[in-house]
């Protein structure tokens, strides 16, 4: 018999609820025991703010109920989501949610999350540089990193990436951030019929625009879906 606390047959109406995506505002449905969900509109993965795993905190049989809870359903490590949670919270505290650069940064992060499933890179550096790259004030970026408890060495690398510089030992991360940013730009252009006509969509052109294999595949998929 499955633990009643985690058996959906015993759940009430409150066990299923909706949360607005932090990146685009789309309503995303959560079950109470889900750690994270990916927004179906923009692809941004975020943590369930009201997760309820009941007895999992103390029961010795919790692993039998939940299995290995270190990964989300698409194999994204939960510690990556935790790092991103800290960065997003810090951005909101320092900048607020209304600055256009914040929403843009979250869209870049959503693309970066997808690329990191295939490409090697340090998630902390990629997420921070993706999220902060669109902020108008360099001072804001530094304060966000401090508020999110990013160590000094990593913060220095992130600030270099945000300024568009090549940083020793962070070339992979630089490529992922640039590709994620370019994918957001491509998506925006493809959503506009007028702008879409000016986009070079042949495979050769797309290969030149992106550095990583994962980004090239995503770009071609986006173009195909928009056709």
pLDDT in tens, 80-120: 667 888 898 899 889 887 677 888 998 999 899 889 989 98
Contact present, 111 and 183 (Cβ < 8 Å): yes
- Contact partners, residue 142, CB within 8 Å, separation at least 6: 155, 159
Contact present, 162 and 132 (Cβ < 8 Å): yes
Burial of 55 (0-12, 13-18, 19+ CB in 10 A): middle
Contact present, 162 and 97 (Cβ < 8 Å): no
C-alpha span between 94 and 98 (Å, rounded) = 12
Q: List helix spans (H) across the chain.
A: 62-66, 78-94, 100-116, 123-132, 138-147, 152-162, 171-190, 193-196, 203-209, 213-226
* Residue spans per domain, the chain: 8-66, 78-226
Contact present, 109 and 130 (Cβ < 8 Å): yes
What per-residue string of b and e applies to 113-132 under the rule 16 or more CB within 10 Å gives b?
bbbbeebebbbbbbbbbbbb
pLDDT, mean of residues 69-79 = 50
Q: Is the pLDDT assigned to residue 39 strictly greater than 90?
A: no
Per-residue confidence (pLDDT) for residue 70, from 0 to 100: 47
pLDDT in tens, 162-221: 988 889 999 999 999 999 999 999 998 888 877 667 777 788 888 899 999 999 999 999
What is the pTM assigned to this prediction?
0.72
The two tokens of residue 69 are 């809870």
Average pLDDT, the chain: 81
pLDDT in tens, 125-165: 999 999 999 887 878 999 999 999 899 999 999 999 998 88
Per-residue confidence (pLDDT) for residue 1, from 0 to 100: 47
Per-residue confidence (pLDDT) for residue 69, from 0 to 100: 46
Higher-scoring residue by pLDDT: 161, 48: 161
């Amino acid at each position: 018999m499955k633990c009643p606390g985690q058996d959906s047959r015993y759940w009430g109406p409150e066990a299923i609820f909706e949360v607005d995506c932090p990146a685009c505002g789309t309503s995303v449905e959560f079950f109470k025991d889900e750690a994270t969900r990916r927004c179906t509109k923009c692809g941004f993965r975020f943590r369930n703010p009201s997760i309820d795993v009941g007895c999992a905190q103390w029961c010795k049989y919790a692993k039998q109920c939940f299995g290995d809870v270190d990964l989300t359903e698409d194999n994204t490590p939960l510690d990556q989501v935790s790092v991103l949670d800290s960065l997003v919270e810090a951005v909101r505290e320092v900048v607020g949610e209304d600055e256009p650069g914040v929403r843009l940064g979250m869209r870049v992060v959503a693309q970066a999350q997808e690329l990191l499933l295939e490409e090697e890179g340090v998630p902390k550096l990629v997420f921070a540089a993706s999220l902060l790259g669109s902020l108008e004030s360099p001072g804001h970026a530094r304060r966000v990193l401090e508020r999110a408890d990013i160590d000094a060495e990593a913060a220095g690398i992130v600030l270099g990436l945000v300024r568009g510089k090549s940083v020793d030992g962070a070339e992979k991360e630089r490529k992922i951030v640039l590709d994620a940013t370019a994918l957001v730009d491509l998506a925006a252009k493809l959503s506009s019929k007028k702008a879409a006509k000016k986009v070079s969509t042949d495979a050769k052109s797309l290969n030149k625009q992106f550095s990583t294999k994962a980004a090239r595949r995503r770009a071609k998929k986006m173009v195909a879906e928009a056709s």
